[in-house]
Amino acid sequence: MELNSKIYLAGHNGLVGSSLLNNLKSKNYKNIVTKDFSELDLRKQDQVEKFFEKERPEYVFLIAAKVGGIHANNTYPAEFIYDNLMIEANVINSAHKYGVKKLLFLGSACIYPKFAGQPIKEEYLLTGELEPTNKAYAIAKISGIELCKSYRRQYGDDFICAMPTNLYGPKDNFDLKTSHVMPALIRKFHDGKKNGSKEVVVWGTGKPTREFLFVEDLTDALIHLMNNYSEEGHINIGTGIEIELNNLVHLIKKVVGYEGEVVFDTTKPDGTPRRSLDVAKIHATGWRHQIELEEGIREVYKWYLENKD
């Protein structure tokens, strides 16, 4: 991308999109197009086509998606598969139709089988059963990958796909009904501290392991890939470092300063037992993460304290 290239950032208000917008601006990209949901509903084909016909972006970051944690995915599977299928199909097809030079589609590590070998290599996609609690969302994201591959094979479009590990950062969703594990835990421990609660209840056994990537590291990676990667196969983005959720819980407890007890509710689902991405492929392109977990959690909690009201 040139600094004056016309860049469309689809999904600029969320966790990833807002960070990517700030990152692009900090790197002096000057011609960035964004649209709020009230101006452009990406689920509507006619609206998307009119937008692309008018704006003619050269580069597209497809970040927009309906996202949530285990509870949200399990409770609203119809919305998770429908909304995400519509968004990606409309944007990818219009990017092809109106001559976009390059598109980056952002997926998720939940595309991989529940019992995939660890760390998860890109080629493990579609080699086993998906995690049932987020199957609808995962199938939508897998469809997005296949869309990009198909347009590349049939038409030669330079459409690439990036699969990040679990993300966290400022502007995350802290609603306990729909949030991912990291912001949910920060919120629970903060509320417990504020209310003087003797205990905080955490879902599951605490035994699963996860890998977490600070959102600013991710957006650095996305810009890096847009400028340095052009292959049919999707590429993992992560740290390559796992942490058991029990240890994550106690790390967040320490950062927040909660002094009560932690109780694991083992009647609640754990989700996938282990998930860590093999990041050799992206390391080979010259990118590595910079922000370690405790530093990142402190940044997020600081942001939450300043913005929770």
Three-class secondary structure of residue 147 per DSSP:
helix
Task: Please indicate if the annotation marks 11 as binding a ligand.
Answer: yes
What is the longest distance spanned by two Cα atoms in the chain? 61
Give the integer Cα–Cα distance in Å for 121 and 88.
24
**Is 166 known to sit in a ligand binding site?**
yes
286 is annotated as contributing to ligand binding: no
195 in a known ligand binding site: no
The answer to whether 215 touches 167, Cβ cutoff 8 Å, is yes
The verdict on whether residue 48 carries a ligand-binding annotation is no
- Do 95 and 60 contact (CB within 8 A), yes or no? yes
165 is known to lie in a ligand binding site: yes
Q: Annotated catalytic residue: which of 8, 59, 112, 137? A: 137
CB atoms closer than 10 angstroms to residue 136? 20
What's the distance, Cα to Cα, between the start and end of the chain in Å?
38
Alpha-carbon gap, residue 266 to 73, rounded angstroms: 19
257 is in an annotated binding site: no
Amino acid at 233: G
**275 among annotated binding-site residues:** no
Q: How far is CA 84 from the centre of its chain?
A: 13
**137 in active site:** yes
Residue 31 counted as an annotated binding residue: no
Residue 105: DSSP 8-state: E
Please check if 289 is assigned to a binding site: no
Is 178 annotated to bind ligand?
no
Q: 241 and 274 in contact (C-beta within 8 Å)? A: no
Q: Does 16 show up as a binding residue in the annotation?
A: yes
Annotated binding-site positions for NADP(+): 11-17, 141, 164-167, 180
Annotated binding-site positions: 11-17, 141, 164-167, 180, 188, 203, 210, 270
Annotated binding-site positions for substrate: 188, 203, 210, 270
Catalytic residue set = 137
